[in-house]
């Protein structure tokens, strides 16, 4: 698209576009900043002055699957033209099946079609001059706000239950994407239609280069180790639900909790009845919210489980604040042993989200030299930020 043909895009138009992208995401479309930036270029062209042309341009950009293509016209008409709004709201508000739930970016965090259209004018006054999505709107949904909160500050029972539910759904989305993700490859057998269409925009819509992809040869295995000592009690429940979403019905994920000893909890997390799952966890994790001996727990994992679980495609994820009542030297030695077997070691520390936090604890200092990614885990948003890192492995 020629630069001379571009027209200025006002704040209101940017806000409407941002709301439309959120609406598509809420309806299961795989949209992100890349698609939003390309859509902004379309809005800046003469195509935007004719709804029929704008519909076809957006349809080519945002539809990456057959079901997207079949539903796009209805959503477009409901949002931009106000046609069939009730039908669209009813469709987006219905309980999604497992496939559509996994494909959505973060189920439950988007607005429905009617809600997004009604809120667009309010959002127009709050958007920044950058690309849509770069600034946060004060009109964000309650679920989006909940995802940004520190989990230890969520006190209301209803809000806490919603946070736990979102943590599990977030993990299921992440697990599905990691298990089925195909990597871009020049010799891949399949054509990536979405990326090919995006690349063609710079050539006037002509697909000069076909972007190909192929499935990874070996899936990524996740091994999760959760610290359930007293200092982690404010976060442990949400982390257990997050782990359940990753482990449930997956052969490439295993979960453990540790305090003064190590406990394997994968089978309990896979229990279909949540009441029975809680009962099994209560019986297995005796000593919950007590002291912690990270070094001894890792030693037990290395001795009895590491050889069976870890290989060149394994990632060990440790969720802990690093406070250890054991010997720091032992912790360092066991971390070194883990490092020799696993491809990556990720340490998620909820205290990193606290103001003025520094990893000065002896256990944390001993572990740091062997960690590939040291990141916060105080909110659902910080847990969601783990996916892009894992997707590159």
pLDDT in tens, 261-314: 899 999 888 887 766 666 677 656 565 656 789 999 999 999 999 999 999 999
* Last residue in a domain, options 107, 127, 147: 127
Residue 382 domain-assigned (yes or no) = yes
96, 4: one domain = yes
Q: Model pTM greater than 0.75?
A: no
Report pLDDT digits (tens) over 64-105. 887 788 888 888 888 887 665 433 333 333 333 333 332 333
| Average pLDDT of span 11-28 | 82
| 160 in any annotated domain | no
Same domain for 117 and 187, yes or no, is: no
User: pLDDT-derived band of residue 116, with 50, 70 and 90 as boundaries?
Assistant: very low
What SS3 state is found at 249? coil
Cα 122 → chain centroid:
27
CB 135 within 8 A of CB 128: yes
Which residue range(s) make up the domain with 236? 221-391
Q: Cα dist. 352→144, 177, 376 in Å?
A: 21, 26, 5
Examine residue 174 and state whether it is found in any structural domain, yes or no.
Answer: no
Listed in sequence order, the residues at least 6 apart from 304 whose beta carbon sits closer than 8 Å to its beta carbon are: none
The span from the CA of 292 to the CA of 303, in Å, is 19
- Within-domain flag for 154: no
End-of-domain residue from the set 95, 127, 159: 127
260 and 193 in one domain?
Answer: no
Domains of the chain: total = 3
Confidence (pLDDT) at 169: 87
Percent helix / strand / coil, the chain, rounded to 5: 55, 10, 35
Is the CA virtual torsion 58, 60, 63, 66 positive or negative?
A: positive
On whether residue 322 sits in a domain, the answer given is: yes
Higher pLDDT, 46 or 374: 374
- Residue 166 in domain: no
How many other C-beta atoms can be found within 10 angstroms of the C-beta atom of residue 166? 24
In the numeric block, which tokens belong to residue 333? 């030695």
316 and 292, same structural domain?
yes
Q: Are residues 207 and 306 in the same domain?
A: no
Question: Is residue 254 located within the same domain as residue 211?
Answer: no
- Phi, psi dihedrals of residue 206, rounded to the nearest 5°: -85, 125
Domain closes at, from 163, 197, 215: 215
């Amino acid at each position: 698209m020629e630069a001379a043909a571009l027209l200025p895009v006002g704040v209101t138009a940017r806000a409407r576009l941002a709301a439309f992208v959120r609406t598509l995401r809420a309806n299961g479309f795989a949209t992100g900043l890349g698609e939003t930036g390309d859509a902004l270029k379309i809005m800046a062209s003469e195509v935007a002055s004719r709804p029929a042309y704008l519909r076809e341009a957006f349809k080519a950009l945002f539809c990456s699957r057959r079901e997207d293509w079949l539903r796009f016209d209805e959503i477009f008409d409901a949002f931009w033209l106000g046609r069939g709004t009730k039908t669209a709201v009813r469709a987006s508000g219905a309980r999604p099946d497992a496939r559509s739930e996994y494909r959505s970016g973060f189920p439950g965090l988007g607005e429905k079609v009617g809600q997004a259209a009604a809120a667009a004018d309010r959002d127009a006054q709050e958007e920044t001059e950058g690309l849509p999505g770069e600034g946060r709107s004060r009109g964000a949904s309650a679920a989006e706000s909940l995802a940004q909160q520190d989990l230890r500050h969520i006190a209301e029972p209803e809000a806490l239950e919603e946070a736990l539910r979102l943590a599990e759904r977030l993990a299921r989305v992440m697990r599905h994407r990691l298990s089925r993700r195909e990597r871009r490859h020049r010799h891949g057998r399949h054509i990536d239609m979405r990326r090919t269409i995006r690349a063609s925009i710079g050539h006037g819509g002509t697909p000069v280069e076909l972007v190909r992809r192929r499935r990874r040869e070996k899936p990524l295995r996740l091994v999760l180790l959760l610290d359930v000592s007293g200092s982690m009690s404010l976060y442990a429940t949400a982390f257990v639900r997050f782990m359940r979403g990753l482990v449930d019905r997956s052969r490439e994920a295993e979960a453990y909790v540790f305090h003064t000893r190590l406990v394997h909890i994968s089978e309990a997390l896979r229990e279909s009845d949540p009441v029975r799952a809680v009962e099994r966890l209560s019986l297995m994790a005796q000593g919950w919210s007590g002291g912690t001996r990270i070094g001894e727990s890792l030693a037990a994992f290395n001795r009895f489980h590491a050889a069976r679980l870890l290989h060149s495609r394994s990632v060990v994820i440790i969720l802990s604040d690093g406070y250890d009542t054991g010997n720091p030297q032992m912790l360092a030695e066991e971390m070194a042993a883990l490092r020799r077997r696993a491809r990556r070691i990720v340490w998620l520390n909820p205290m990193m989200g606290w103001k003025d936090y520094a990893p000065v604890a002896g256990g944390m200092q001993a572990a740091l030299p062997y960690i590939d990614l040291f990141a916060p885990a105080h909110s659902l948003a910080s847990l969601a930020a783990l996916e892009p890192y894992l997707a590159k492995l």
